[in-house]
Amino acid sequence: MLTLEKRPQPSKAFAYLTPLIAILATMFFGGLLFMALGKNPFESIRTIFWDPLFGEFAFYYRPQLFVKGGPLILIAIGLSLGFKAGIWNIGAEGQYIVGAICGAGAGLAFYPMEAWYIFPIMIIAGALGGWAWAMIPALLKVKFQTNEILVSLMLVYVADQLLASMSLGLLKNPEGQGFPGSRNLKDYPSAFNDEIITGTGMHWGVAAAFIAVIFAYVLLNRHMLGFSIRLTGEAPRAAKFSSVNPNRIILFCLGMSGALAGLAGMFEVSGPSGQVSIDFASGYGFTAIIVAFLGRLHPVGIFFAGLLLALTYIGGEMAQGNLGLPSAAIQLFQGMLLFFLLAVDLLTNYRIKLSRKEAV
Amino acid sequence: MTETLLTIDKLTKAYPGVVANDSVSFEIKQGEVHALLGENGAGKSTLVKMIYGLVKPDSGVMTMNGAPFTPAEPRAARASGVAMVFQHFSLFDALDVAENIALGMENPPPMRDLAERIRSVSEEYGLPLDPYRTVGDLSAGERQRVEIIRCLLQDPKLLIMDEPTSVLTPQEVDILFETLRKLTAEGVAILYISHKLEEIRTLCDAATVLRLGKNVGTCIPAETSARDMAELMVGTELQTPKSAGADLGEVVLDISGLSMPSPSEFGTALKNLHMRLRAGEVLGIGGVAGNGQDEMLLALSGEVRVDTNALKMNGKAIGNLAPNARRALGLLTAPEERLGHAAAPDMSLTENALLSGNVRRGLSERGFLKWGKTRAFAEEIIEKFDVRTPGPDNAARSLSGGNLQKFVIGREVLQAPEVLVVNQPTWGVDALAAASIRQAILDLAAGGTAVIVISQDLDELMEVADNFAALNEGRLTEKRPTKGLSIDEIGLMMGGAHGMEAAHADA
């Protein structure tokens, strides 16, 4: 019989190995899934993981890695702070949407004026929008002990409705011949989040993601606030004993993850997407949860996990186009990654032992 | 009376890295109270688990009434007449007594019959108990009765009791002993696990001492001194902690009218506590578990804020201050629960040193951590308090209970507190570590620190404390000098028998 035995110390080796094992297991079972759908599993896996980087059209897809990875990393960094403290913000998607609406709205308010300060104002507005949306579950949790998982998740659907209403109403392009959606910010230089270096996919949001990674690393490893966050997640009673005010941690973590998600939304709407439209939301806020865990809630890990997930996005799109794989299969594939990660994760703290049947 | 009930012959059980029981042999006779003595980790629990069918021995045989006894699971052990009262009760607070007992039975009879049987058994053995009371409302002593009656309903031949008196007042202990004597008179054998030597001397007919998994001796407790038994347990000579007996100084901590609602559902509210503590004084606070000890620590540490003026430190009102603000003033605390409260299990010792040492040791500057200094602090604790660990990078949970306790106490002591409050400083700690922790407390007091020791171990309090007070249902008694205080007086301070006296009125 297999039994699990708790390790006296968490295994360092497994902490680093689990993401790799999870990726391999996902490739294997994903391959089986694609086979069951009547596709060649090797070709499918190659299309997803290899072709975007080294295939014929890699010159087009490689920059996409940053374009897709930037928002994922930015959101996941924020989420990881909360997750470390045991505060589960599941509604980053909503904060992302509200950040985009606020950022775009702030920019469009100045249209057609051109000025250098418009873009910074949009950044601030985007961050504030996401922050405010996250403050709703935060304050409700602090004041009434509501469950932040449910509240933040439900607010995603509210944000979805808000997005639809904005694209059809307040922010609708007056010159858009009745089509839903705002003006395209790509046509408004002061508000356009252009590539910093042309052809690399590096826009300001990607730069912000890099900064967030460094900021989170310093916070968690070198600062008392980061220590308090980790302590709250590891042992809440010890945190109280150590003089940590749990409410302050809740407000900080939810606020921070909301602000970063809002920033991601703002950079997306003013750059790659270009306009507030009904179909603006693309699930980054949810995929970022996978990114955060795949990266072991560690800033550097999240950076690589974000790029990997971006790869599955791009490769998934290619597989849809070239091989005719259904998009649900790609989502399933991403979900599998999280599933295997969490399963293999057990080995960090436990080891599997073969034993004769015996009650302990 | 003299017939052998259970023979244990060369029982061995090894776990990876440790031999829990190394060819242990002894006999339990019918109608005898047999003590199983030993420090934590000596192998008492493993041995008992083998008898109760929870663990299978690697080798060795047990014989009961002449027949081989190899229980594969607790059900089989129970069927053979072995019953066990665990140290930690497995009762559901929200259910009543009869329902709790029915849950533990193979084929529970209808509730009304069961209640009737509970009544008759409880009266027969002097353990009155209302089958329809909710367990959540019972005192610790009454909960133990539920467990004992649950066992008695099985007509046991051998009753195993694991540290049964740790939750009882001296008066309640007397009642329990009455019951146990009644049982032995009927031929029931009792295997009694404890480390309270005086208790064993009054109650037990024979004792087996385990050390590091081996049987190191059998003795007749009534004829052996407590000191000899303790040295048999530890294997070396014991140093009794010595107090330097410093003169008491000014009042440093003034508790006046401290009241606090219970922070948890089944906790205890603190009711109007008054106490003055002088520099260099060691105040022992006794009481049965669950009478407000944990709550008192929370109120003193600042984890729960109280009325501003209820606590004064050197004349300054501190009732509304957070733990770190109190630490800055010199009020340090060490909670009872090591893992999860005093220390974070999965964090390294260095990180755990930071947990409470940040303010007084200056381990951060404008919020940025000084890991080098923190690590040095952890190393200092490890060295000065003889914490056995490969180094400060190890996780707290990898340490044994005694070593982690030394770390937790050392962390506070090395911050040079003005007032130190410790809750159960030697709970679950081996005798040597306990002695060194007590010595550290006494040294601290000799240097002018006022210390409050909250403990359920009365011997410990008698050893270290200048003055004694007791917590009973959230109220604190006046303090009295420890010298000349009799066990009876202490028992009365702790609340006497909590209204359980009537039990043996006619016994």
Q: Which of A18-27, A164-173, A285-294, B236-245 has the lowest mean pLDDT?
A: B236-245
Q: What three-state secondary structure class fits B282?
A: strand
Q: Which residue has the tokens 């520099």?
A: B279
B340 with A237: Cβ contact below 8 A: yes
Q: What is the rounded distance in angstroms from the CA atom of residue B299 to the CA atom of residue B474?
A: 12
Residue B242, pLDDT > 90, answer no
C-alpha angle with apex A70: A67 to A76, nearest 5 degrees? 145
The pLDDT, as a whole number, for residue B377 is 97
A225 touches chain B (CB under 8 A): yes
C-alpha angle with apex A104: A103 to A105, nearest 5 degrees? 90
Residue B199, pLDDT > 90, answer no
Q: What pLDDT, in 10s, does the model give residues A186-236? A: 889 888 888 888 878 889 999 999 999 999 999 999 999 999 999 999 999
A224 with B364: Cβ contact below 8 A: yes
Instruction: Count other Cβ atoms within 10 Å, centred on residue B489.
Output: 13
Q: Is B448 exposed, middle or buried (0-12, 13-18, 19+ CB in 10 A)?
A: middle
Q: Which residues of A touch B336 (CB under 8 A)?
A: none
Comparing A348 with B446, the larger pLDDT belongs to B446
Q: Which residues of B touch A225 (CB under 8 A)?
A: 367
Express as a percent the part of chain B with pLDDT over 90.
40
Distances (CA, A) of A23 to A295, B144, B205: 12, 52, 64
A243 with B369: Cβ contact below 8 A: no
Q: Which residue of A has its CA nearest to B393?
A: A9
DSSP output for B323-357: HHHHHHHTEEEE-S-TBTTTB-TTSBHHHHHHHHH
Q: What is the rounded distance in angstroms from the CA atom of residue B127 to the CA atom of residue B195?
A: 24
What distance in Å separates residue A308's CA from the closest CA in chain B? 29
The pLDDT, as a whole number, for residue B496 is 64
Per-residue pLDDT band at B504 (split at 50, 70, 90): very low
Distance of CA B348 to the CA centre of its chain: 26
A223 with B351: Cβ contact below 8 A: no
Mean pLDDT, residues B447-464 taken together:
90
B342 touches chain A (CB under 8 A): yes
Q: What is the rounded distance in angstroms from the CA atom of residue B403 to the CA atom of residue B394?
A: 12
B355 touches chain A (CB under 8 A): yes
Residue B246, pLDDT > 70, answer no
Per-residue pLDDT band at B499 (split at 50, 70, 90): low
Looking at the partner chain, which of A10, A231, A360 has a beta carbon nearest the beta carbon of B395?
A: A10
What distance in Å separates residue A217's CA from the closest CA in chain B? 13
Cβ proximity of B71 and B82 under 8 Å? yes
Q: What is the rounded distance in angstroms from the CA atom of residue B259 to the CA atom of residue B269?
A: 7
A229 touches chain B (CB under 8 A): no
Q: What pLDDT, in 10s, does the model give residues B424-444? A: 998 777 777 888 899 999 999
Q: Which residues of A touch B339 (CB under 8 A)?
A: 235
What distance in Å separates residue A259's CA from the closest CA in chain B? 22
The pLDDT, as a whole number, for residue B332 is 96
Q: What is the rounded distance in angstroms from the CA atom of residue B125 to the CA atom of residue B142?
A: 14
Distances (CA, A) of A190 to A110, A126, A205, A209: 9, 16, 16, 21
Looking at the partner chain, which of B339, B340, B395 has a beta carbon nearest the beta carbon of A9?
A: B395
Mean pLDDT, residues A311-338 taken together:
86
- DSSP label at residue B134: B
Looking at the partner chain, which of A227, A240, A358 has a beta carbon nearest the beta carbon of B369?
A: A227
Q: Which amino acid is at B223?
A: E
Q: Which residues of A touch B394 (CB under 8 A)?
A: 9
Looking at the partner chain, which of A9, A223, A238 has a beta carbon nearest the beta carbon of B355?
A: A238
Looking at the partner chain, which of A9, A231, A360 has a beta carbon nearest the beta carbon of B355?
A: A231
The pLDDT, as a whole number, for residue A196 is 84
Q: Which residues of B touch A224 (CB under 8 A)?
A: 358, 364, 367-369
Looking at the partner chain, which of A241, A242, A359 has a beta carbon nearest the beta carbon of B73?
A: A359
Q: Which residue of B has its CA nearest to A246?
A: B303
DSSP output for A128-171: HHHHHHHHHHHHHHHHH---HHHHHHHHHHHHHHHHHHHHHTTT
Q: What are phi and psi of B483, to 5 degrees?
A: -60, 130
Q: Which residue has the tokens 């995603």?
A: A156
B421 touches chain A (CB under 8 A): no
Q: What pLDDT, in 10s, does the model give residues B273-322? A: 999 999 999 999 998 877 889 999 999 999 999 999 999 999 999 999 99
Q: Which residues of A touch B334 (CB under 8 A)?
A: none
A238 touches chain B (CB under 8 A): yes
A241 with B351: Cβ contact below 8 A: no
Looking at the partner chain, which of B55, B324, B394 has a beta carbon nearest the beta carbon of A243?
A: B324
Q: What is the rounded distance in angstroms from the CA atom of residue A191 to the CA atom of residue B310?
A: 59
Q: Are strands B206-211 and B33-37 parallel, antiparallel or unpaired?
A: parallel
Q: Which residues of A touch B301 (CB under 8 A)?
A: 241
Q: Which residues of A touch B371 (CB under 8 A)?
A: 222
- Stated as kind and residue range, the H or E segment containing B404 is helix B401-413
Q: Which residues of A touch B50 (CB under 8 A)?
A: none
Q: Which residues of B touch A222 (CB under 8 A)?
A: 368-369, 371
Q: What pLDDT, in 10s, does the model give residues A126-154? A: 999 999 999 999 999 999 999 999 999 99
B302 with A222: Cβ contact below 8 A: no
B398 touches chain A (CB under 8 A): yes
Q: Which residue of A has its CA nearest to B55?
A: A360
Q: What is the rounded distance in angstroms from the CA atom of residue B283 to the CA atom of residue B277?
A: 8
Looking at the partner chain, which of A222, A225, A234 has a beta carbon nearest the beta carbon of B344?
A: A234
Cis peptide before B390 (omega within 30 of 0): no
The pLDDT, as a whole number, for residue B506 is 40
The pLDDT, as a whole number, for residue B2 is 63
- The ipTM assigned to this model is 0.84
Looking at the partner chain, which of A9, A223, A241 has a beta carbon nearest the beta carbon of B356?
A: A241
B335 touches chain A (CB under 8 A): yes
Distances (CA, A) of A24 to A49, A103, A296, B373: 12, 39, 17, 42
Joined tokens for residue B98? 């009869």
A243 with B56: Cβ contact below 8 A: no
Q: Which amino acid is at A84?
A: K
Q: What is the rounded distance in angstroms from the CA atom of residue B359 to the CA atom of residue B326?
A: 10
B340 with A245: Cβ contact below 8 A: no
What distance in Å separates residue A224's CA from the closest CA in chain B? 5
- DSSP label at residue A115: -
Report how many Cβ contacts below 8 Å link chain A to chain B.
Answer: 79
Q: Which residue has the tokens 């539920």?
A: B146
The pLDDT, as a whole number, for residue B240 is 66
Mutate to test the interface with B, among A240, A243, A351 (most CBs of B within 10 A): A243
Instruction: Count other Cβ atoms within 10 Å, centred on residue B66.
Output: 10
Per-residue pLDDT band at B383 (split at 50, 70, 90): very high
Q: Which residues of A touch B303 (CB under 8 A)?
A: 240-241
B303 with A227: Cβ contact below 8 A: no
What are chain B's domains? Answer: 4-234 (3.40.50.300), 251-493 (3.40.50.300)
The pLDDT, as a whole number, for residue A125 is 97
Q: Which residue of A has its CA nearest to B335?
A: A241
A241 with B73: Cβ contact below 8 A: no
Joined tokens for residue B60? 């060795």
DSSP output for B484-506: T--HHHHHHHTTTTTT-GGGGTT
Per-residue pLDDT band at B507 (split at 50, 70, 90): very low
Cβ proximity of A80 and A299 under 8 Å? yes
What distance in Å separates residue B347's CA from the closest CA in chain A? 8
Q: Which residues of B touch A240 (CB under 8 A)?
A: 303, 323
Cβ proximity of A34 and A168 under 8 Å? no
Looking at the partner chain, which of A10, A243, A360 has a beta carbon nearest the beta carbon of B55?
A: A360
Per-residue pLDDT band at A71 (split at 50, 70, 90): very high
A1 touches chain B (CB under 8 A): no
Q: What is the rounded distance in angstroms from the CA atom of residue B13 to the CA atom of residue B20?
A: 6
Comparing A104 with B485, the larger pLDDT belongs to A104
Residue B402, pLDDT > 70, answer yes
On average, the pLDDT of chain B sits at 87
Joined tokens for residue B122? 């409880």
Q: Which of A22-31, A79-88, B119-128 has the lowest mean pLDDT?
A: B119-128
A243 with B322: Cβ contact below 8 A: yes
On average, the pLDDT of chain A sits at 90
Q: What is the rounded distance in angstroms from the CA atom of residue B112 to the CA atom of residue B107?
A: 14
Q: Which residues of A touch B348 (CB under 8 A)?
A: none
Q: What is the rounded distance in angstroms from the CA atom of residue A140 to the CA atom of residue A149?
A: 12
